[in-house]
Every structure is written in C-alpha cells, then in structure tokens.
Amino acid sequence: MQPFENIKKILNNEIPGFLIDSLPCKWEKIGDVLILKLDEELLRYQDVIGRVYSSVLKCRTVLNDIGGVSGEFREPNVEVVYGCKDTETIHKENGIHFKLDPQKVMFSSGNMDERIRMANISRRDEVVVDLFAGIGYFSIPMAVYSKPKKIFACEKNPVAYDYLCQNIVLNNVVDIVEPVFGDNKKVAPRGVADRVIMGYIDGTEGFLTVAFDSLRNNTGFIHFHEKYSEKIVPDVLMQVVQKVAVRYNRKVYLLKYRKVKSYAPGIGHFVFDLFVDEK
C-alpha cells in the first residue's frame, strides 16, 4: 500500500470522514523532520494527523507550514504539530550531509536537481564565489564532487552561516570551502573568481555588480537565479544583464537556462548560466 493511502486508511478511523479528502498528499521530508501544509479545517486534529504521518513516514517531528518563507533571510514560517520540539536534523542527499534546523533556515527539496547539477559543473583549477551560500546548498556539493581550487562561501544570516561552517566540517571540505560572514556587497572577494553562484531569488538583479566585481578580470561564469513569469524569460534578464555589462565594457552570453521549479501558474524559479567576456 502506498504511504498516503495507508495514512488515509488509518485516519479514516481517527477524524471525521469528510476531512479525509483535505489531507495533504504532498510533503517535504528533511532528515527526520516532516513538513506538511494543513488546511485550517484540519488544525483541530493536528495532533492525531501529525502522529499518523510521523508513524507511516518514519519521522521524528512534524511541522505545519503556516506561511512559506519570508524576509531577507527567507526564514520558514512553521510550527511543531507533533513530536520533538528540537527540530535540528541532518538531511542526506546525493552523498552530502546537510545539518540544519527547518524551523530556522529554509531547505527546498525541489532544488535537488539543481544542487546535483552544480555539484559537477566546476573544474579543479577554478576559484568560485558563492554570493548566497546559505547552509552550503551549492558550495558543499561542488566542493565534494568537483573539487575546485577554492570556494568562497558568503552568507549574511548568522544562523545559516553557523550551519554552513558545521557542514563544511561535516563533509570534509575545510581545505576547499572558506566561509565568509556578512553582506556580500561588503565582504565578497573581488577579482578572484572564475565562477560566481547567485543562488537567491527576489531581488537577485541588485547583486549583479557584486558578481561582476568578483570575477577575475570581470570575465567568467555566473549562475543567476530569479523568479520570473515564464512568458518573459530569458529576455527580461538579458536586458538587465547587458546594461550592467556595458558599465564593465563586457558582453554577456546566455549559455543555457532552465526552470528549477514552479511557484505559481506561469511563474517559475529559473537559473541562467551566463558567460561574461570581453567585447
């Protein structure tokens, strides 16, 4: 029996039958912590619902997503509905160990394919600057599998930075990844990178000059993330990027782009692989 069918079968004896169709058929499992999105009508029964999901899906704690992520640091709006109040966990993915607390920092399972792609995209002789490193979403897989010369991982959120430092040690990449704490506009290394990662959405365009300044001789690769209407990509980004490039006497080429995941009908999280070169 499929897990969700089993969950519905058990809960059919625990909650009113008319609520069964409202049970979430999708969830996010981060380590041994489960995140659900419960409709308001289910909240009265959140304890028993959490207990059953926890049992069937083998999770220690169940969180309810009450409002996605918010703020500059994209902090999760979740609350414990069942299980241990200590929600720190270790999430294992593609051979990487991510230590985090899903109540304090975000982790999107929907970005897994992009994390795997980035893990193998760099070369051993490269220097990489990750402008929005978080807990090491892209920097650590890249360090483990591509083994570039150096990755400067910048992070402004003190909670995420602490987990970044722990994950560098946990994954044995201390010699490759150098954590850099603070606002990347102030602390990102200048003129050193062959490749820049911009793994952030909602305002990433405002950091393009930081990316250009980080590149060695203002030349190299940029992996740019942002949320756009599917009808206007990639043109909307390229217009912005080329305006920035003119200030550096550079030309930007779009190598490829892909949708990382959907946000809403017609709206997607996209990543653009760019190459900045001399005119």
How long is the chain?
Answer: 279
| Helix and strand element counts for the chain (H, E) | 8, 13
Q: Which CATH architecture has domain 109-278?
A: 3-Layer(aba) Sandwich (3.40)
| 239-243 CB contacts, 8 Å cutoff, 24+ apart | 240/205, 240/208, 241/208, 241/274
Picking from 29, 57, 58, 24, the residue whose alpha carbon sits closest to that of residue 43 is 24
* Contact of 251 with 269, CB cutoff 8 Å: no
* Start-to-end CA span in the chain (Å): 60
Beta bridge partners of 223: 197, 273
In angstroms, the CA 252 to CA 174 distance is 33
**Residue 231, helix vs strand vs coil:** coil
Predicted confidence (pLDDT) per residue in 222-269, tens digit: 999 999 999 999 999 999 999 999 999 999 999 999 999 998 899 999
Predicted confidence (pLDDT) per residue in 32-86, tens digit: 999 999 999 999 999 999 999 999 999 999 999 998 787 888 889 999 999 999 9
**Residue 4, helix vs strand vs coil:** helix
Longest alpha-carbon distance in the chain = 69
**What is the distance, to the nearest Å, from the Cα of residue 179 to the centroid of all Cα atoms in its chain?**
17
CATH fold for the domain made of 3-87:
GMP Synthetase; Chain A, domain 3 (3.30.300)
Could you tell me the residue ranges of all domains in the chain?
Answer: 3-87, 109-278
Predicted confidence (pLDDT) per residue in 119-167, tens digit: 999 999 999 999 999 999 999 999 999 999 999 999 999 999 999 999 9
What's the pLDDT score for residue 264? 85
What's the pLDDT score for residue 239? 94
Model confidence at 1: pLDDT above 80: no
What's the pLDDT score for residue 104? 96
Q: What are phi and psi of 27, to 5 degrees?
A: -155, 170
